[in-house]
Amino acid sequence: MSSSDLPFTRLRKETEVAILSVLRACYLTKNVQDTLVNQDTITKKDKSPVTVADLSAQSLISLHLSEHFPQDLIIGEEDTSELRVNDPLREKVVKLVSEGFQREEGWGKDKTFSEDQVLSAIDAGSAEGGAKGRFWTILTEHRGSSDINNMLFV
């Protein structure tokens, strides 16, 4: 997407970064949807499912935002507590994030991220927000049930 494609000038850079990161996250989550197995899902204390797609998408989007807007806070749903004790799940998330950067031209194209960068990006979503400053919110939603075929990522 080029700047000339947008019908406005205010927050142009923010919009471009958001669109690129969400577009890449959509490709990533669609890829996971096509190949997900039950072992790629964990359950939070509130009984809601978390998939490798949730974790990978939050990291991918957070990496974009942190690079372009380092002063902005990020509010995300996920953390790395399970990833830090689950080697196969952690390796899959790290791989998916780097694969996500292979799609679409723009910042980070074909960049590979380390395990520490991917985990730090997920944990960067621990801000609480508030009345001062600017923050971004990254949400993933499961529609209907924990069935991967009923997922909607936003």
Domain-by-domain residue ranges, the chain?
3-153
Query: pLDDT tens-digit profile of 4-47?
Result: 677 777 888 999 999 999 999 988 888 887 776 555 566 666 54
Q: Is the pLDDT of residue 56 over 50?
A: yes
pLDDT value of residue 102: 92
Closest alpha carbon to 152 in 21, 64, 25: 25
Fold assignment, 3-153: Fructose-1,6-Bisphosphatase; Chain A, domain 1 (3.30.540)
pTM: 0.82
What does the pLDDT average to over 103-111? 90
Q: What residue type is assigned to position 75 of the chain? A: I
**DSSP result, the chain:** --GGGSS--TTHHHHHHHHHHHHHHHHHHHHHHHH--GGGEEE-TTS-EEEHHHHHHHHHHHHHHHHH-TTSEEEES--STTGGG-HHHHHHHHHHHHHHTTSSSSTTTT----HHHHHHHHHTTB----SSS-EEEE-EEE-SSS-GGGEEE-
Paired strand residues for 43: 49
